[in-house]
Each structure stands twice: as structure tokens, then as C-alpha cells.
Amino acid sequence: MQLSTKHLLGIKDLTAEDISLILSTATQFKEVLQRPVKKVPSLREITIVNLFYENSTRTRISFELAEKRLSADTINFTASGSSVSKGETLLDTVNNILSMKVDMVVMRHSASGAPHFLAQHIPAAIINAGDGINEHPTQALLDALSIQEKLGTLEGKKVALIGDIMHSRVALSNIYLLKKMGAEVMVAGPPTLIPKYIKEALGVKVEYNLKKALEWCDVANVLRIQLERQNQVLFSSLREYNLAYGVSKKLLDGLKKEIVIMHPGPINRGVEIDSDVADSKQSVILQQVENGVAVRMAVLYLLSGNKSA
Amino acid sequence: MVFIGMQPRGVYISGKIVESIKKIAPNENVQYGILDITFYRDDVRDQIRIANRTDIPFSVEGKEVVLIDDVLYTGRTIRAALDALLDFGRPKKVSLCVLVDRKFNRELPIQPDYCGKAIDSVISQKVKVEAESEQVILY
């Protein structure tokens, strides 16, 4: 039993069966993470390089933990203070690393499509840990696992993605995955942060009023305001954003039903989400982090069969 | 003594055995778990397999563990099971109970302590244990 792809470049390339396989395998790995010895020998002879051209703490640690729990050998590469600052190209860097017999590459890069470019030129299996404003497939997978755990299934569930949709690879991966698995998707936020033809292009509902979005949904996935990706000023101030689009306890308590609150992290407390919401019992934010390691273990395990020579 | 059934095909037999034991000794606390060894296989790179559920809701530390499976063939599943079990703790003793022992197909030095039936089969022959009809078929 295998995934239909050799790499994990994006949710776009996965079938619903692939997604189900990853989620059920992740569930088995969650059980492994409860054992006294949180390790299995499955990837014992595999070496993985974590190629992070962009800052990340959470994703990189999550991947590193997943790799170590599978008994793989891991190498970490961060762009600053490396050959990249000496002008080495992406392809040269990777080929150099691969000639040291590294089997798999986990990559985060600020250019959309960087892992796809790499996949055309190197034999190793590539896992996209986030490319520009394109996709972040493992995040969408762990989000899906978290929803499934809380609500039983994804099919027919109403999920609202709230915030900076325009610059969010988490949003795009989630939209692809949720639609493939039969969920209904809405994007909500200020009009300046929602791409113009997203409704027609991706088949999602669009809502500019936060209260209406929360009244409609079963799950609210709150996205971080991405200050580092915005060159223009797309809303007046953080305070104004919070007043119009911040998810507050008052809003949640005013709804007819209890909705599930998610956030990919890191949280800007008091901007897109208030502290009492993030820490409430409706929030699965910490379970998302726990699921992240299990999901990444599942992806690495399922892709490890295609070891390069 | 605690009992652990091997996923996927040993769990039916082990379930039946534990049921019988509970009837014979109703006052004993019979502990039963199931173990999947997919992640411990020595051929894990050749074919990626889906794992089934593992559920061992007790500690194996210092216990006498009986592993239960349907067919003992090459012995590699049990080798993997020993590795997996040791990651749960240090049992006092581990013994093996199988329904069918394919005596001449072993690839590792592993033998059953309790055996339903030993069979002299050749590699080209197949042994099938059917749970629903409760039959063992040789062909």
C-alpha cells in the first residue's frame, strides 16, 4: 500500500485515498507516541536533511522529532551562515548534500514552487514544509486529523478559514484537502486579504463579516496575520483588525453552538485571536501540535519506500 | 501471566483463547492486549504496509507474556514482536503460542512453547487459517 506520489509537494497532487491513508497511519503513530519508548526502528537506515531556507521553529522541531522517533538520522540546514550566503544555488546545495548519501529532503523555502523545481532535478523524495505562498501540506494534514478527532469525520463539516487568506499557504493546502474530503469551506476576512476570484477558482464561500462566518461554521481555523509577507499596508492597524476580525470569547459565547477553534501557530494573542479563546476548552491548538509529529511520521514512513540508491 | 495477540490474524485466535481462559478461571484478572509489528519488520523498506491498532493497556514490566499468533512460519513476525515488546518494558519471560507450526520453514531460531498442530509443509504450499469458519486449510 503506497501513496500515489513519490513526493509530498502539495495537497493538490494527493487523492482522497492518499489523505485517508496518511491520517489512519498517523493515528497508529499517535499510539506509538504514548509508549514508554516513543520510537520505532522503521527508518533506521534512512538519512534525512531538513533544508530550511526560511525561519521556522515549530515546523522544524516537529519534523526533527518525527524523524528521530522513526530512528532516522537527521541533518539540519539553515540558510543563514551557510554556503547560500556565499552565493551557492539551490540545486548545487542540494546535489552536494545528496552526494553525501542523504535519502530524503524536507524543505521550506520562500519561493513558491521551489520543491517542485527540486523534484524535477534530484532523485530523493521531497517533502514540502512550506513554499512561499503556495502550500504547506503537512499543516493541512494535521489540521484534518485534529478535526477528525474532535468531530469524527471531515465529510459535510463546515470549516471557516479566517484571516490573511491571500498570503497563507496553510489556507490553500487546507482548502484543497477539505474539498477533497467532502467538507464545506468558507474563507473569511477583510476584502484586502482575500484573493479576488477565489470563490470561482476554488469553490469556497466568501464572507467579510466575522460573526456570520462563526455562526455558519463547525470549525474556525484562525490564521496568523503575516506581517513578514506584506509589503503593502492591507489593513489600518493591528487594533482595528482585532476589533473587526479578532476571534473573541464574547463572539463565541454569543453563538448558538460550540465551535472548534484551531490555529496553525504561532499565535498573535490579542490580534487575530484573544487569549481566553486560545486557551479555552473549545480550542484544539495544542492537540494540533501533538498531531503534527504523528502526521509527519506518517508522511515520512509512507514515502520512505522510495529510497534513493 | 498476560496475553498478547498478534495483529492482524492472531487476534481472532488470541481472543478465543483468552475467552476460554476467563471461563476456566473466572476469578483471575486476565490481562489481554493486541500488538501490531508493522513498524518493526525487517523488510520494511521493500513494501510499505499499513499498520493496525496496537493496544496494550497494562505494563509488561516483570510479567510473563504469552504471545499468540495463528501461524508460525519464518519466525520473523515473532522476532519483530520481541523487539516491539521490549520497547514496552522488560517482561520476566516471553513464551509463544501458535495454532499452526510450519516446522521446516523457519528462517530464525524461534520455536513455539504451545502449539496446536505442527505441519510438515514446503514453502510452495500454503496454510490458511479462516476465522469465520474456524478452519485451517492446507493447499
Chain A interface mutation, best of B87, B88, B90, highest count of A Cβ atoms under 10 Å: B87
Give pLDDT, residue A122. 87
| Residue range A288-307: mean pLDDT, rounded | 91
What's the CATH class of domain A137-288? alpha beta
CB pairs under 8 A between A and B: 47
Domains A11-135+290-303 and A137-288 share a fold: yes
Rounded to whole angstroms, the Cα distance separating A160 from A154 reads 13
Which amino acid makes up residue A171?
Answer: A
Q: Are the Cβ atoms of B49 and A28 closer than 8 angstroms?
A: no
Q: Phi first, then psi: what are they for A283, rounded to 5°?
A: -85, 135
Q: Is A233 on the interface with B (CB under 8 A)?
A: no
Rounded to whole angstroms, the Cα distance separating A14 from A64 reads 23
Instruction: Quickly state the pLDDT bin for B67 (edges 50, 70, 90).
Output: very high
Give pLDDT, residue A156. 96
Q: Are the Cβ atoms of A28 and B53 closer than 8 angstroms?
A: yes
Residues in chain B closer than 8 A to A42 (CB atoms): 39-40, 44
Q: CA nearest A22 in B: which residue?
A: B50
Summarize pLDDT for A236-249 with one digit per residue, the tens: 788 888 999 999 99
Residue A309 above 60 pLDDT? no
Q: Are the Cβ atoms of A301 and B39 closer than 8 angstroms?
A: yes
Kindly tell me the burial class for residue A172, based on how many C-beta atoms sit within 10 Å of its own C-beta (0-12, 13-18, 19 or more). Answer: buried
Beta bridge partners of B5: B34, B68
Summarize pLDDT for B68-82 with one digit per residue, the tens: 999 999 999 999 999
Rounded to whole angstroms, the Cα distance separating A124 from A307 reads 7
Instruction: Quickly state the pLDDT bin for A225 (edges 50, 70, 90).
Output: confident
Rounded to whole angstroms, the Cα distance separating A6 from B128 reads 34
Residues in chain B closer than 8 A to A24 (CB atoms): 50
For chain A, the structural domain boundaries read 11-135+290-303, 137-288
Rounded to whole angstroms, the Cα distance separating A125 from A300 reads 9
Query: What is the percentage of chain B residues whose pLDDT exceeds 90?
Result: 67
CB contact residues (below 8 A), chain A span 29-68, against chain B: 31-32, 35-37, 39-42, 45
Give pLDDT, residue A228. 56
Summarize pLDDT for A260-276 with one digit per residue, the tens: 999 998 898 999 999 99
Q: What string of DSSP letters covers chain B?
A: -EEEEETTTHHHHHHHHHHHHHHH-TTS--EEEEE--GGG-TTTTTS-------B--S--TT-EEEEEEEEESSSHHHHHHHHHHHTT---SEEEEEEEEEEGGG-SSS---SEEEEEE---TTS-EEEETTTTEEEE-
Q: Which H helix or E strand runs over A288?
A: helix A285-303
Is 3.30.450.20 the CATH classification of the domain at A11-135+290-303?
Answer: no
Residue B117 CB contacts under 8 Å (≥ 6 apart), including other chains: B99, B100, B101, B136
At A123, list the grid cell: 532523485
CB-CB contact of A213 with A186 (8 Å): yes
How do beta strands B135-138 and B127-130 pair?
antiparallel
Closest by CA position to A288, among listed A260, A247, A268, A269: A260
Q: Are the Cβ atoms of B45 and A37 closer than 8 angstroms?
A: no
Backbone conformation region of residue A292, classed left if phi is above 0, alpha if psi is from -120 to 50, else beta: alpha
Residue B127 above 90 pLDDT? no
| Residue range A71-99: mean pLDDT, rounded | 84
User: What is the CATH architecture assignment of B2-138?
Assistant: 3-Layer(aba) Sandwich (3.40)
- Nearest CB to A1; choose among B46, B48, B53: B48
At A205, list the grid cell: 464561500
**How high is the mean pLDDT of chain A?**
92
Residue A231 above 70 pLDDT? no
Rounded to the nearest angstrom, the minimum Cα separation between A307 and chain B is 8
